[in-house]
Amino acid sequence: MFIWVHLPVHTVPMVDVDTALKSAAIDRRKAKKDRDSSKPKRPGGSVGIEPFDPEVFRTKEVADTYSMWLVLIGSILTALLMRFLIMPGMGEPGPLLWLLPLSLVLILPTLHRLILPDEISDLYTGGNWFRAGMLWIFTWLSISIILVNPPLADISAPEAVDVRLVFDEGEESEDLVARLDRVGNDIDISIETGESEGSMWLLLDVRDNVAVEDCSITVQLVKNEQILLNSTINGANTTAISAYDDLVSGNRSIVSILDQGSWSDPGMKLWRTTDVGVAVDLGAFDTGTYELRYRIDQPGDPWPLTTGDAIYKIQILPSQ
């Protein structure tokens, strides 16, 4: 005998794979969010920014300010020391003028540790030392430039921007360009009789950045070891200036003996309105070899200034 028993059938809902994956992803995000919410928060943590501590920031700013003032004062004192103690005793420029101030950059870390308290000096890093070194160099350099230039001082020597020769009389005063041959500082001048009719003059265009009238021009002419002329004139000598103007304004042949000079242009008197032209009478020349020297000096500050001796060999030759 068979007994039929009726059991209830429960239907299980069907879930597709795509829906299951989306549900799992949502569950993972919720779990991660719950874990993150349980951690302590910090400002800017979500974008990788370090936490901001106002007290630490203030301490670093104070340390940078101390360093800045220490470097500024030290570099200014160094520039003053070099200008008023070192330079007057040197007499002329030398490597010490830049070597000593630049070498002090190397002791800046030690200087900070000696002067500043440990809680401040310990905050400095390599970046601080680099910035301090650059500030030291440029501050010292700028203050030094101010201290050694007008109106506080003058370390720039005067110069002769053009040096020319001219005869005041005779045929050589009319065609000196054709008669003169120059190779470097060796000058040959051809004269028919071997003796000039007039005097040869040295024309100097003197330039200085402060006061040309303070310059002194020394001219020396030697023949056969005999000094024919040894003259020193002032940059404000009215006689020499007047003679220069007369010679340049006249219809004479003028030749420059400087490589960068005006050569034979008598109209090119001065290159700047502050230049001063002076003329020195060298006297009459005859056959032979002469040595011509000139030098321009000035009582500069902190040391005397000079152009040094310029030497020319002038040979007078009779025309063939």
Q: 21-43: per-residue pLDDT in tens?
A: 667 677 777 766 666 565 555 55
Checking if the pLDDT of 6 tops 70, the result is: no
Rg of the chain over all Cα atoms, to the nearest angstrom: 43
The tokens describing 32, both together, are: 């991660």
**How far does Cα 53 stand from its chain's mean position?**
45
Return the closest-CA partner of residue 102 out of 131, 134, 129: 134
- Give the pLDDT score at 74: 96
What is the average pLDDT value for the chain, to the nearest integer?
Answer: 85
Q: With b meaning 16 or more CB within 10 Å and e meaning fewer, what string describes 60-81?
A: eeebbebbeebbeebbeebbee
DSSP letter string over 17-80?
HHHHHHHHHHHHHHHHHHHHHHSPP-TTGGGTPPPP-HHHHHHHHHHHHHHHHHHHHHHHHHHH
In what helix (H) or strand (E) does residue 206 lie, and over which residues does it extend?
A: strand 200-207
**Higher model confidence: residue 300 or residue 52?**
300
> Which band of pLDDT confidence, cut at 50, 70 and 90, is reported for residue 163?
very high
39-48, 58-67, 170-179, 277-286, range with greatest mean pLDDT: 277-286
DSSP 216-280: EEEEEEEETTEEEEEEEEETT-HHHHHHHHHHHHSS---EE-STTS-TT-TT---SSTT-EEEEE
Sign of CA dihedral 313, 318, 319, 320: negative
pLDDT band at 243 (very low <50, low <70, confident <90, very high): very high
Cα 279 from Cα 168, distance rounded (Å): 11
Can you state the angle between helices 54-81 and 108-115, rounded to 10 degrees?
A: 110
**pLDDT over 50 (residue 264):** no
Is 99 a residue whose pLDDT tops 50?
A: yes
Dist. CA 188–CA 202, nearest whole Å: 15
Mean pLDDT over residues 82-86, rounded? 94
pLDDT at position 167 over 60: yes
Number of H helices, E strands in the chain: 8, 11
- CA angle in degrees (0–180, nearest 5) for 227-228-234: 95
257, 285 contact by CB (below 8 A): no
d(CA 222, CA 240): 21
Please tell me the distance from the alpha carbon of residue 147 to that of residue 301, in angstroms, as a whole number: 10
Per residue in 119-131, pLDDT (tens digit) is 888 889 999 999 9
All domains in the chain, ordered by first residue: 54-147 (no CATH), 159-318 (2.60.40.10)
